[in-house]
Amino acid sequence: MTAAQQPIGVFDSGVGGLSVLQALRAELPHERFVYLADSGNAPYGERGDAFVQARTHAITDYLCRQHHIKALVVACNTATAAAIHEARARHPRLPLVGVEPALKPAVAASKTGHIGVIGTRGTLTSAKFAKLLASLDGQAHFVVQPCDGLAHAIERSTAQAVPAASDATETRALCARYTSAMGRFGTQAGEMDTLVLGCTHYVFVQDELRSLLGPHIRLMDTGEPVARQTRRLLQATGTLVPENGTPAPAITLLTTGALEPLQNAATRWLQLPAECCATVDLPVGWSADPVR
């Protein structure tokens, strides 16, 4: 297998990173992908940094050794904030792409200069996020809201092929609780006209957020910028698959948790067959030595 034929690894604490995989597939339709949902340990946003770092290292080592990935997309805001610098040090020859809340694009898009940001507590209390927020000091007014439980509720909604009414009620109630706590959304002076989705899971409740906030509020996520950055890195390393019109290759989806929720999410959100999903046993100490 040539370097270009090797797959791109993508991982998240659960199914939320499928929103990033969706953008990657649109940008890079001829690439192979291996996606790993660490659903057995989700959500990361309410875990400590040491735990998230250990999971990131175990998953990265596994994808390198077992699937020979040519690049890795850390499709999780919490894992990016807690562990991507260490991952780069452990794997210096592996191109890595992380995600971060889309504050800079939101500043460019907002007309009122008032921007809401929702995310997990782990992301929004991280040093990485604080540094990003400080870099935009004076450019906009940000209202930052941790959304405890929302990512977990989105995970639970995939337990059945058709979401249970109670799951839909729970996710909508959480969206309503957190957005109402932030203040006034709208297009008038002093109102928030832009909402940054600071967790990859939240892309899958866009409809609920739009129904609560109205059609004129911009929702900003990171999928497309991450996909474009991944293309640039592959081009720089000479490992981009040529766009020669070949059909899109098969995709492998793995989970450390129950199989059915990943199958339901893949079918519901990416229109992928259940057969592309499998389980993997990946303890924290899967690999003691970094892959170089």
Print pLDDT tens along the chain (292 aa).
Answer: 688 889 999 999 999 999 999 999 999 999 999 999 999 998 887 788 999 999 999 999 999 999 999 999 999 999 999 999 999 999 999 999 999 999 999 999 999 999 999 999 989 999 999 999 999 999 999 999 999 999 999 988 998 877 777 878 999 999 999 999 999 999 999 999 999 999 999 999 999 999 999 999 999 999 999 999 999 999 999 999 987 756 667 899 999 999 999 999 999 999 999 999 999 998 766 554 444 3
Dihedral pair phi/psi, residue 240, rounded to 5°: -75, 130
d(CA 180, CA 110): 19
What is the pLDDT, as a whole number, of residue 2?
84
The tokens describing 257, both together, are 């948790």
The reply to whether 199 belongs to the active site is: yes
Q: Which tokens is 4 given?
A: 């270009």
Question: C-alpha angle 253/227/200, rounded to 5°?
Answer: 60
pLDDT value at position 111?
98
Out of 64, 147, 175, 199, which one is annotated catalytic? 199
**Domains with residue ranges and CATH for the chain:** 3-99+223-279 (3.40.50.1860), 103-220 (3.40.50.1860)
How confident is the model at residue 43, as a pLDDT? 83
Question: With the CA atoms of 64, 263, 97 and 6 taken in that order, what torsion angle do they form, in degrees rounded to the nearest 10?
Answer: 40
pTM of the predicted model as reported, rounded to 2 decimal places? 0.89
pLDDT at 3: 86
Which of these is catalytic: 76, 147, 175, 277?
A: 76
Residue 246 to residue 256: CA distance in whole angstroms? 32
- Could you give the 3-state DSSP secondary structure of residue 247? coil
Question: Which residue intervals of the chain are DSSP H helices?
Answer: 18-27, 49-67, 77-90, 103-109, 121-124, 127-135, 150-156, 165-182, 206-213, 223-237, 259-270
105: which 2 tokens?
């694009």
pLDDT at 291: 41
Q: In the β-sheet with 141-146, what is the strand arrangement from edge to edge?
A: 141-146, 114-119, 194-197, 218-220
Q: Of 115, 119, 168, 120, which Cα lies nearest the Cα of 141? A: 115
Reading the block at residue 77, the tokens are: 């805001």
Residue position matching structure tokens 């209390």: 125
Provide the pLDDT for residue 63: 97
SS3 197: strand
**Length of the chain as a residue count:** 292
What is the number of other CB atoms lying within 10 angstroms of the CB of residue 110?
A: 19
Measured in degrees and rounded to the nearest 5, phi and psi for residue 238 equal 70, 25
Q: What are phi and psi of 75, to 5 degrees?
A: -90, 45
